[in-house]
Amino acid sequence: MRRLIRAASPACALLMSSCASRLPASPAVPRIAMPAEATQPCSLFVLPASPSISDLEIGYVTRGSQIAICDAARDLAVQTHAAEHALQDQLIGKSAKPAH
């Protein structure tokens, strides 16, 4: 009887350890690739050391357009992030709420 217990103990431990090491199977988490436009750093016009009136006017217009482009890229990143979370919520069964 003791021989049987000695032989069964390692086999039982081996079976339990192999079951414990397995993680439950879960579906793959969806990923949405971030658009390249949303990952680029924003650039802003810098005035020269001794700006003239025309440099100031050019800077005003240029910075305005650069800020609009940067804001659009930021909005694109936010929309992509919200869409990815909506897919994840849909996968796990939560009700997804719209970002806007």
SS3 25: coil
Residue-wise pLDDT tens digits, 82-98: 998 888 888 887 654 55
Start-to-end CA distance of the chain, whole Å, equals 71
Q: Is residue 13 over pLDDT 60?
A: yes
Of 91, 88, 89, nearest to 32 (Cα)? 88
**pLDDT tier, 33 (very low <50, low <70, confident <90, very high otherwise):** confident
**pLDDT tier, 99 (very low <50, low <70, confident <90, very high otherwise):** low
Q: Which residue has the higher pLDDT, 10 or 53?
A: 53
Residue-wise pLDDT tens digits, 61-70: 999 999 999 9
- For residues 73 and 34, is the Cβ–Cβ distance under 8 A? no
Whole-structure pTM value: 0.57
Radius of gyration of the chain measured on its C-alpha atoms: 29
Mean pLDDT of the chain: 80
Of 42, 43, 44, 33, nearest to 73 (Cα)? 42
